[in-house]
């Protein structure tokens, strides 16, 4: 018996768990064993992938003791857990994070070197699990990292998509999607448990029957079913000794389904059945911030939620657990509306399967759920037609109707003379088709509803869910998003991390408010010099990556102006593009001297949903403008566009630390929070941004003098829209804007073809839903201020340092503390 992680383990308390020796020799032994016996290859013949897989498995051994003791301790203590229900977990590469958690980087580097292997080469072999679209999925990944680090019990529940977010390529500047076959070369981080598969039912009908006491009840008679196979992933905390679990579900055909048809001799039909079942977890829907009302998507949602509830009730809870105490053991956090079908599912389990009476079940259910809303766009609120829901989940539809009936009854009592209000608040919409409003269902069912930044939560209360906020003011709260400082500062920016640690010690990694200690150093010239040196080194690093990855050449001596996020009209990539085109137009017509232009690298990274035609045209336009500028030698390389394809977590980790300027230019009132904005701030970029989402809080913290604010605020936007917005008026009155738009229309970026980008320009001129033209001049003026500020490198660096020093609030550890205090009430559990 040896010392287990974080405390004395004795034979009396628990049987032994294997412990790995934390030495170079032990690592090398383990690695070779994995390579020879696991991979079945000799070192001299091993491919990079062989070595990567062997190393990944070796590294995860080092976390195993902690994982097993975490699980053991949890079954002893039965502490309250968070079940984070999310259709997306955008994890990013696992290796570095695991090395950090296991404190193995030095040992592995040395051990591999002794075998003639470079760690960095193996790092590059990892294909990131892209099981999410953007902000929402990445947020889930940051949250589970923080909870493990803070010693809070959590299970992440989601879907093990066989294909994650598509791989983006550019063909003649246009986005072409390739399937993301991320499992192709093996998946060393997951633990499949086919023996623990659960059955999930669909379809069929509802029947009436009499129970043993002669009471008439209703129950679901399903039409078909699939199996959910759990795949477990370790979620190691940093220096906490805890390893939580992420459990992702994969769909398989049931044996009955299979065998019955197979035995009948219809092999083709049997294979079809299997394909049908496995389609459920086949691919991530590539929509971001807008729902995709497809039947398969509803199947995915119900699939993972039903698996998760069953898993928690039957597997995680001890046998014979009294479910009336469920709220003491679990809180299901609903990450947007995607998992909201869990609400009627828990009701169905309690009422139909456990035989509870309705009121009892509803009281318990309400205590078990909380809902996070991530949007303000009305078109992004999920709505399921009852025709579809009733066909796929007939009993759930009945349950939703009953929840709604009782809710409307409560409303009629509260507002006897306001039937209009009652109808407005109904969970069931009547137009254009009868449909279930999932956000309303979540709001009615949840104990709490939160937005993701202060402004967003305010607008939820005042606009999107105003009736509900008036009815239940205490239900609404805010939790501003955050990002994990482990991945997005310590790992991604080793230069800056080292400098920070040298200055204030290493406590910041788990207590990011300590960055405040850097404030005085903003006035220290030597510190600023080193800070600049690190930024420059980060630019060299990304320049190298872009050249090798994409064949893109950038100049590390320029201002790096970066806009990376999903392509969406509300985020206004076109606004940034109009600024670039305007500069170019002024230079080529001689109204702007090249010598007066601050040399800039404009970096874009953005995927468009495959069906979002306008977004794809904007991508083509950015590439077209990029090509023209980059090939125009008269610019002498002073303005270049770098638009690497397939922006993902891995690229973010090298691009963000190199940025000088962070573009956060959504129309005020549209971006719920943003989290990229926080990553840039923590890596010492200054923000040019609107008064939107978490930008509001960033500016408050860093101070106006260290932030380039521009544009309309939300009340002004509302007023302009109310009065009737006329984008063409800006075209008529603003000469620079007109020239920029005319230049695009002239075909200057499309080989003289005037039609190619006509739809993009026409949309801006005649519709411009997101008021890009209205904010154009303010944006250009703010960019001029950026140029002036950047010219004074000492002052700029001072601001950059202050951005880092004042960014501690945006740690996802702080977000988790807020969720725990205001919503979950799940205290940390010591690991021993």
Pick the piece of the chain touching ligand Z57 (CB under 6 A) from 129-137, 190-198, 609-617, 699-707: 129-137
> In the annotation, is 675 catalytic?
yes
622 contacts ligand Z57 (rule: CB under 6 A): no
Shortest spacing between CB 565 and ligand Z57, in angstroms = 9
Extract the tokens encoding 415: 């507002």
691 contacts ligand Z57 (rule: CB under 6 A): no
Name which position in 96, 345, 569, 671 contacts ligand Z57 (CB under 6 A).
Answer: 671
Shortest spacing between CB 311 and ligand Z57, in angstroms = 24
Shortest spacing between CB 613 and ligand Z57, in angstroms = 19
74 contacts ligand Z57 (rule: CB under 6 A): no
C-beta separation of 699 from 507 below 8 A:
no
Q: Which one of 437, 461, 490, 679 is the catalytic residue?
A: 679
Which residue number, 194 or 611, has a Cβ lying nearer to ligand Z57? 611
Helix (H, G, I), strand (E, B) or coil at 43: helix
Which residue number, 607 or 640, has a Cβ lying nearer to ligand Z57? 607
481 contacts ligand Z57 (rule: CB under 6 A): yes
> In the annotation, is 755 catalytic?
no
Pick the piece of the chain touching ligand Z57 (CB under 6 A) from 78-86, 131-139, 642-650, 780-788: 131-139
Shortest spacing between CB 764 and ligand Z57, in angstroms = 22
Distance CA(435)–CA(388), nearest Å, equals 9
Query: Cα 88–246–153 angle (5° rounding)?
Result: 120
Pick the piece of the chain touching ligand Z57 (CB under 6 A) from 21-29, 374-382, 441-449, 607-615: 374-382
Shortest spacing between CB 692 and ligand Z57, in angstroms = 9
> In the annotation, is 616 catalytic?
no
Strand-strand pairing, 216-221 and 205-210 = antiparallel
Query: Cα 716–718–721 angle (5° rounding)?
Result: 105
Extract the tokens encoding 309: 């509830």
Nearest to 85 by CA among 304, 325, 315: 304
Q: Which one of 138, 487, 566, 579 is the catalytic residue?
A: 566
End-to-end CA gap in the chain: 16
Number of residues interacting with ligand Z57: please give it, by CB under 6 A: 19
Distance CA(542)–CA(659), nearest Å, equals 10
C-beta separation of 444 from 403 below 8 A:
yes
648 contacts ligand Z57 (rule: CB under 6 A): no
DSSP 4: B
Shortest spacing between CB 576 and ligand Z57, in angstroms = 17
Go through the chain and tell me how many residues it has.
832
**CB neighbours (10 Å) of residue 204?**
17
Pick the piece of the chain touching ligand Z57 (CB under 6 A) from 130-138, 225-233, 306-314, 581-589: 130-138
Name which position in 693, 711, 807, 831 contacts ligand Z57 (CB under 6 A).
Answer: 693
Shortest spacing between CB 287 and ligand Z57, in angstroms = 7
Which residue number, 116 or 378, has a Cβ lying nearer to ligand Z57? 378
Distance CA(225)–CA(210), nearest Å, equals 25
Pick the piece of the chain touching ligand Z57 (CB under 6 A) from 75-83, 132-140, 528-536, 706-714: 132-140
Question: Residue of minimal CB distance from ligand Z57?
Answer: 135
Shortest spacing between CB 284 and ligand Z57, in angstroms = 12
Distance CA(446)–CA(467), nearest Å, equals 15
Pick the piece of the chain touching ligand Z57 (CB under 6 A) from 530-538, 655-663, 670-678, 819-827: 670-678
Would you say the C-alpha torsion 23, 25, 31, 34 has a positive or negative sign? negative
Q: Which one of 138, 456, 571, 572 is the catalytic residue?
A: 571
Shortest spacing between CB 141 and ligand Z57, in angstroms = 11
> In the annotation, is 364 catalytic?
no
Which residue number, 228 or 674, has a Cβ lying nearer to ligand Z57? 674
Pick the piece of the chain touching ligand Z57 (CB under 6 A) from 442-450, 656-664, 665-673, 777-785: 665-673
Which residue number, 52 or 604, has a Cβ lying nearer to ligand Z57? 604
Pick the piece of the chain touching ligand Z57 (CB under 6 A) from 305-313, 396-404, 424-432, 671-679: 671-679
Shortest spacing between CB 89 and ligand Z57, in angstroms = 12
674 contacts ligand Z57 (rule: CB under 6 A): yes
Distances (CA, A) of 373 to 26, 201, 291, 427: 48, 28, 13, 16
Q: Which one of 338, 348, 374, 539 is the catalytic residue?
A: 374
Burial of residue 367, with CB atoms counted within 10 A of its CB: 0-12 exposed, 13-18 middle, 19 or more buried: middle
C-beta separation of 394 from 204 below 8 A:
yes
C-beta separation of 770 from 580 below 8 A:
no
Name which position in 28, 127, 136, 741 contacts ligand Z57 (CB under 6 A).
Answer: 136
DSSP 252: E
Which residue number, 149 or 289, has a Cβ lying nearer to ligand Z57? 289
SS3 of 311-379: the string is: HHHHHHCCCCCCHHHHHHHEEEEEECCCCCCHHHHHHHHHHHHCCCCHHHHHHHHHHHEEEECCCCCHH
Nearest to 79 by CA among 828, 819, 821: 828
Distance CA(262)–CA(216), nearest Å, equals 39
Pick the piece of the chain touching ligand Z57 (CB under 6 A) from 104-112, 128-136, 388-396, 784-792: 128-136
Query: Cα 783–785–791 angle (5° rounding)?
Result: 105
Name which position in 30, 34, 180, 288 contacts ligand Z57 (CB under 6 A).
Answer: 288
Distance CA(688)–CA(576), nearest Å, equals 11
Distance CA(30)–CA(22), nearest Å, equals 11
Which residue number, 132 or 684, has a Cβ lying nearer to ligand Z57? 132
673 contacts ligand Z57 (rule: CB under 6 A): yes
134 contacts ligand Z57 (rule: CB under 6 A): yes
452 contacts ligand Z57 (rule: CB under 6 A): yes
Residue with tokens 């309250």: 80
Which element (helix H / strand E) includes 562?
Answer: strand 559-564
> CB under 8 Å to 266, separation ≥6 — which residues?
none
Name which position in 97, 250, 365, 375 contacts ligand Z57 (CB under 6 A).
Answer: 375
Q: Per-residue b/e over 251-284, b at no fewer than 16 CB within 10 Å?
A: bbbbeebbeebbeeeeeeebeebbeebbebbbbb
698 contacts ligand Z57 (rule: CB under 6 A): no
Name which position in 289, 364, 443, 450 contacts ligand Z57 (CB under 6 A).
Answer: 289
Shortest spacing between CB 672 and ligand Z57, in angstroms = 4
> In the annotation, is 566 catalytic?
yes
Query: Cα 360–364–370 angle (5° rounding)?
Result: 150
Q: Helices 494-504 & 525-550, crossing angle to 10 degrees?
A: 160
Residue with tokens 């990013």: 92
Which element (helix H / strand E) includes 798?
Answer: helix 793-805
Name which position in 58, 675, 687, 783 contacts ligand Z57 (CB under 6 A).
Answer: 675
692 contacts ligand Z57 (rule: CB under 6 A): no
> In the annotation, is 374 catalytic?
yes
Which residue number, 138 or 541, has a Cβ lying nearer to ligand Z57? 138
Distance CA(660)–CA(538), nearest Å, equals 11
250 contacts ligand Z57 (rule: CB under 6 A): no
Distance CA(577)–CA(593), nearest Å, equals 20
Q: Which one of 675, 690, 756, 797 is the catalytic residue?
A: 675
Q: Which one of 348, 396, 487, 565 is the catalytic residue?
A: 565
Site for ligand Z57 in 138-157 (CB under 6 A): 139
Name which position in 20, 374, 396, 600 contacts ligand Z57 (CB under 6 A).
Answer: 374
Name which position in 380, 389, 422, 782 contacts ligand Z57 (CB under 6 A).
Answer: 380
- Which positions lie near ligand Z57, rule CB under 6 A? 133-136, 139, 288-289, 336, 374-375, 380, 452, 481, 671-675, 693
Q: Which residues are catalytic?
A: 374, 565-566, 571, 675, 679
């Amino acid at each position: 018996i040896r010392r287990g992680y974080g405390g004395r383990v004795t034979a009396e308390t628990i049987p032994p768990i294997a412990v790995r020796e934390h030495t170079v020799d032990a690592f090398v032994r383990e690695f070779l064993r994995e390579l020879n016996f696991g991979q079945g290859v000799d070192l001299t013949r091993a491919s990079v992938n062989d070595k990567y897989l062997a190393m990944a498995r070796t590294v995860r051994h080092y976390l195993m003791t902690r994982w097993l003791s975490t699980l053991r301790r949890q079954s002893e203590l039965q502490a309250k857990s968070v079940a984070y229900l999310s259709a997306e977990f955008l994890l990013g590469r696992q290796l570095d994070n695991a090395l950090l958690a296991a404190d193995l980087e030095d040992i592995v580097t040395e051990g591999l070197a002794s075998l003639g292997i470079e760690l960095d080469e193996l790092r590059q072999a990892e294909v990131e699990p892209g099981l999410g679209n953007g902000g929402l999925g990445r947020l889930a990944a940051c949250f589970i990292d923080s909870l493990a680090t803070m010693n809070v019990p959590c299970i992440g529940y989601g879907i093990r998509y066989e294909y994650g977010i598509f791989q983006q390529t550019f063909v003649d500047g246009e986005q072409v999607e390739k399937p993301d076959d991320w499992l192709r070369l093996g998946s060393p981080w997951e633990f499949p448990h086919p023996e623990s598969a659960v059955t999930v039912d669909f379809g069929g009908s509802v029947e009436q029957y009499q129970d043993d006491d002669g009471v008439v009840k209703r129950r679901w008679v399903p039409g078909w079913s699939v199996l959910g196979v759990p795949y477990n992933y370790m979620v190691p905390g940093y220096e906490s000794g805890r390893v939580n679990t992420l459990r992702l579900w994969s769909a398989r055909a049931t044996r009955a389904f299979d065998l019955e048809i197979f035995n009948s001799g219809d092999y083709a039909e049997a294979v079809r059945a299997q394909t049908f079942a496995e389609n459920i977890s086949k691919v991530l829907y590539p929509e971001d911030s807008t729902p995709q009302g497809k039947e398969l998507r509803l199947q995915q949602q119900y699939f993972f939620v039903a698996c998760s509830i069953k898993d928690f009730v039957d597997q995680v809870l001890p046998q014979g657990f009294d479910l009336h105490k469920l709220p003491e053991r679990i809180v299901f956090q609903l990450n947007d509306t995607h998992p909201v079908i869990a609400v009627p599912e828990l009701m169905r389990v309690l009422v139909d399967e456990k035989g509870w009476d309705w009121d009892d079940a509803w009281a318990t259910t309400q205590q078990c759920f909380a809902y996070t809303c991530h949007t303000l766009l009305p078109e992004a609120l999920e709505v399921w037609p009852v025709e579809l829901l009733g066909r796929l989940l007939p009993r759930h539809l009945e349950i939703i109707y009953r929840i709604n009936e009782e809710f409307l009854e409560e409303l009629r009592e509260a507002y006897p003379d306001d039937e209009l209000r009652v109808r407005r608040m109904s969970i069931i919409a009547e137009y254009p088709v009868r449909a279930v409003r999932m956000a309303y269902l979540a709001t009615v069912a949840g104990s709490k509803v939160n937005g993701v930044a202060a402004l967003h939560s305010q607008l939820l209360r005042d606009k999107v869910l105003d009736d509900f906020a008036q009815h239940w003011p205490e239900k609404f709260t805010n939790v501003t998003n955050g990002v994990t400082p482990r991945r997005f500062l310590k790992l991604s920016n080793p230069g800056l991390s080292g400098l920070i640690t040298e200055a204030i010690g290493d406590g910041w990694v788990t207590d990011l408010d300590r960055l405040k200690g850097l404030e005085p150093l903003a006035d220290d010239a030597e510190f600023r010099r080193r800070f600049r040196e690190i930024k420059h080194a980060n630019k060299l690093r990304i320049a190298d990556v872009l050249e090798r990855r994409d064949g893109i050449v950038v100049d590390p001596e320029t201002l790096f102006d970066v806009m990376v996020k999903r392509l969406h009209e509300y985020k206004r990539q076109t606004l940034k593009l109009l600024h670039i085109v305007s500069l170019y137009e002024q230079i080529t017509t001689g109204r702007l001297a090249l010598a007066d232009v601050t040399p800039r690298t404009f970096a874009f990274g953005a995927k468009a949903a495959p069906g979002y035609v306008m977004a794809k045209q904007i991508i083509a336009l950015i590439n077209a403008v990029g090509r023209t500028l980059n090939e125009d030698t008269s610019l002498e390389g002073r303005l270049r566009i770098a638009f690497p394809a397939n922006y993902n977590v891995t690229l973010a980790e090298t691009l963000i630390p190199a940025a000088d300027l962070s573009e956060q230019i959504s129309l005020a009132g549209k971006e719920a929070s943003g989290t990229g904005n926080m990553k840039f701030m923590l890596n010492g970029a200054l923000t040019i941004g609107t008064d939107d989402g978490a930008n509001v809080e960033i500016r408050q913290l860093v101070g106006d003098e260290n932030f380039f604010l521009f544009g309309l605020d939300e009340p002004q936007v509302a007023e302009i829209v109310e009065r009737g917005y006329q984008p063409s008026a800006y075209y008529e009155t603003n000469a620079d804007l007109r020239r920029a738009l005319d230049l695009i229309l002239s075909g200057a970026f499309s080989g003289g073809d005037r039609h190619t980008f006509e739809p993009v320009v026409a949309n801006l001129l005649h519709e411009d839903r997101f008021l890009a033209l209205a904010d154009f001049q303010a944006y250009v003026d703010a960019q001029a201020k950026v140029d002036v500020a950047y010219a004074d490198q000492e002052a700029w660096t001072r601001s950059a340092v202050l951005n880092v020093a004042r960014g501690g609030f945006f740690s996802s550890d702080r977000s988790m503390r807020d969720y725990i205090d205001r919503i979950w009430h799940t205290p940390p559990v010591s690991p021993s």
